[in-house]
């Protein structure tokens, strides 16, 4: 027997397996493309020819495949005996994906836990790793060795496994907003002859401002009163007009800057002037409340 099995040794699964092995755990792995799992053997990790064999090898099974469909398929094809196994799903997905997979695991007499890794693979095993978990508290405890191998911050988000995926969806949406900002910013920098490295040096200086935007914005959203003199809507429109033109010149199609400008303009058409830009969130809420398709997850 080994301590932990990793199913799927892509970039995330390999980093997880390596971190576990480096922390002294005995690790088994399986991967569809055998070369990828065999590459881990020189680190003392056991590569199994079948998923069923790898699952049988350990009481804790970490699923690190690309998505839920593939996870279902791999479990279905291998039909491993899950008795006594704690199966932890790490793949990205949506809250609706969670319960069908839990049912499948429980039908095989396994115990299910949902997880998400909120960083790049190279942070796994370092203090920069951030993982979240949902399921029974005693199972979170059972994962202690694995969690300490992954390192960094590990948050237990409660007994409801679907909440973990809701949380992950929110953090992924924020991540892609950041990525999109970076992509458009690099095109604008190139077009304007500003070395991106010069801009990058200034980014840490903005950090308190980002934090402030979130703190102030959350407070205003919570209070439902968006009056805020420091950066009223009227001050955003000119800036966004300029930036939208520059984005076009930089060859950026469908820029988020144009979308932001239109949103601000629409808010001003409705009579808003001195409010914080967070007032735009009320549009989304209004549309959500008037649409038939409500979100299935209520949150914590």
Ligand X SMILES: NC(=O)c1ccc[n+]([C@@H]2O[C@H](COP(=O)([O-])OP(=O)(O)OC[C@H]3O[C@@H](n4cnc5c(N)ncnc54)[C@H](OP(=O)(O)O)[C@@H]3O)[C@@H](O)[C@H]2O)c1
Of residues 58-87, those binding ligand X (CB under 6 A): 64-67, 70, 74
Place of tokens 């997850």: 297
Q: Of 61 and 220, which has the nearer Cβ to ligand X? A: 61
Q: Strand, coil or helix: what is 29? A: strand
Q: How are beta strands 130-134 and 111-117 bridged, if at all?
A: antiparallel
Query: Cβ 70 to ligand X, closest distance in Å?
Result: 5
Which of 8, 95, 134, 151 lies at the binding interface for ligand X (CB under 6 A)? Answer: 8
Total interface residues for ligand X by CB under 6 A: 21
Q: If binding is defined by CB under 6 A, does position 33 make contact with ligand X? A: yes
The answer to whether 13 contacts ligand X (rule: CB under 6 A) is yes
Q: Is 36 in the site for ligand X (CB under 6 A)?
A: yes
**Beta carbon of residue 105, minimum distance to ligand X (angstroms, whole number):** 17
Smallest Cα–Cα separation from 27: which of 52, 6, 48, 9?
6
Please identify the residue of the shown chain whose CB is closest to the bound ligand X. 10
Q: Cα(6)–Cα(27) distance, rounded to whole angstroms?
A: 8
**DSSP alpha helices (H): ranges in 28-124?**
34-38, 51-57, 68-78, 95-107
Binding positions for ligand X, 117-176, rule CB under 6 A: 117, 120-121
Of 9 and 244, the one with the shorter C-beta distance to ligand X is 9
The Cα-based distances of 57 to 66, 83, 175, 257 in angstroms read 22, 12, 36, 52
What minimum distance in Å lies between the beta carbon of 204 and ligand X? 22
SS3 100: helix
State the residues that interact with ligand X by CB under 6 A. Answer: 8-13, 31-33, 36, 64-67, 70, 74, 91-92, 117, 120-121
């Amino acid at each position: 027997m080994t301590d932990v099995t990793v199913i799927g040794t892509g970039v995330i699964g390999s980093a997880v397996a390596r971190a576990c092995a480096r922390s002294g755990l005995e690790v088994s792995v399986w991967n569809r493309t055998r070369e990828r799992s065999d590459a881990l053997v020189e680190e003392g990790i056991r590569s199994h020819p079948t998923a069923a064999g790898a699952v049988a090898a350990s009481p804790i099974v970490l699923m690190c495949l690309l998505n839920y469909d593939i996870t279902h398929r791999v479990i279905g094809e291998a039909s491993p005996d899950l008795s006594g196994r704690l199966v932890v799903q790490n793949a990205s997905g949506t809250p609706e994906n969670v319960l069908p997979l839990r049912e499948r695991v429980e039908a095989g007499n396994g115990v299910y836990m949902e997880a998400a890794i909120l960083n790049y693979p190279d942070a796994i095993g370092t203090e920069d790793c951030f993982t979240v978990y949902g399921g029974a508290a005693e199972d979170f405890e059972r994962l202690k060795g694995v969690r300490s191998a992954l390192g960094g911050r590990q948050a237990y988000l409660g007994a409801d496994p679907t909440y973990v995926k809701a949380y992950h969806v929110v953090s992924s949406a924020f991540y892609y907003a950041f990525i999109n900002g970076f992509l458009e910013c690099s095109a604008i920098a190139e077009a304007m002859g500003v070395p991106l490295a010069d801009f990058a040096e200034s980014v840490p200086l903005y950090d308190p401002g980002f934090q402030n935007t979130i703190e102030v914005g959350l407070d205003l959203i919570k209070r439902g009163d968006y009056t805020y003199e420091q950066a009223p809507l009227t001050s955003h429109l000119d800036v966004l007009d300029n930036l939208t033109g520059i984005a076009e010149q930089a060859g950026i199609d469908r820029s988020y800057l144009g979308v932001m400008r239109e949103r601000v303009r629409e808010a001003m058409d409705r009579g808003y002037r001195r409010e914080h830009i967070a007032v735009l969130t009320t549009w989304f809420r209004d549309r959500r409340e008037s649409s038939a398709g409500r979100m299935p997850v209520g949150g914590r």
